[in-house]
Amino acid sequence: MSFLDFYHEQAETIMARDPAIHSPWEVWLYPSFKAQWSHRRAHRLYQKGHYLLARWFSQRARRRTGIEIHPGATIGHRLFIDHGSGVVIGETTIIGDDVTIYQGVTLGGTGKEKGKRHPTIKDGVMISAGAMVLGSFTVGENSRIGAGSVVLEEVPPNCTVVGVPARIVRYHSLVERPSDSLDQIHLPDPYQEDLDRIRDQMQTLQQEISAENRQSGSGKEE
């Protein structure tokens, strides 16, 4: 892909997903745009075995943008890294098309594996701010990872995961695309739902005990 084609693709992507942008010219100022173009050059060098020069490009981009993408990572089309500061993408990471990543996200390894040790992120995934995806597993198409979540195992397609460690809190229908919505706030809270469920059960038990006590009291009076 030529630089001009890459620019047009990124301009369409950023304008579709970032409400703060007002002109395609602003794309030139986006850390995501700069980091990804630098990564494309670094990745080509890495594939040819020029590892030192490839790392020089990636580290230079990290200093300029706050986004660290290892030159060995494979990135598809229309990736959007919003803000980007603190984003880390590991060497064997594979990212599909139309993925959205927010600031502070880590796509890393566990430190215990060799070979493929970083995650595979399928098409249409959204990873919210501060989330960590650690290990050589797959995050399925169109799934959403909540802010601050720590994902340590495979995520099926078309679902939302939140928490530490992350767990599934919602399955989406096939016609839904959660990545089309950039809402990172109105996600289910499984812990609060569990607390609410326990509270409701306690209230039900208290009502049943109170009813039994009233019946027992009435029987004694008779």
pLDDT in tens, 41-86: 999 999 999 999 999 999 999 999 999 999 999 999 999 999 889 9
Predicted local distance difference test score (pLDDT) of residue 74: 96
What CATH number does residue 59 fall under? Answer: 2.160.10.10
Is 90 in contact with 109 (CB distance < 8 Å)? yes
Q: Note whether 174 and 202 are same-domain residues.
A: no
Q: Note whether 105 and 43 are same-domain residues.
A: yes
Please report, for residues 55, 87, 158, 216, the alpha-carbon distance to residue 95 in angstroms, rounded to integers and kept in the order given.
19, 14, 16, 66
Q: Which residue has the tokens 């579709």?
A: 16
Q: Note whether 49 and 80 are same-domain residues.
A: yes
- What is the C-alpha R_g of the chain? 23
Cα gap 209→129, rounded to integer Å = 46
Q: Note whether 125 and 208 are same-domain residues.
A: no
Q: Note whether 198 and 160 are same-domain residues.
A: no
Whole-prediction pTM value?
0.78
Q: What is the mean pLDDT of residues 115-133?
A: 94
Provide the domain count of the chain.
Answer: 2
Query: Of the candidates 85, 90, 88, which has an alpha carbon nearest to the alpha carbon of residue 71?
Result: 90
Q: Which domain holds residue 198?
A: 189-222
Query: Of the candidates 54, 65, 154, 56, which has an alpha carbon nearest to the alpha carbon of residue 101?
Result: 65
pLDDT in tens, 99-112: 999 999 999 998 77
Predicted local distance difference test score (pLDDT) of residue 178: 47
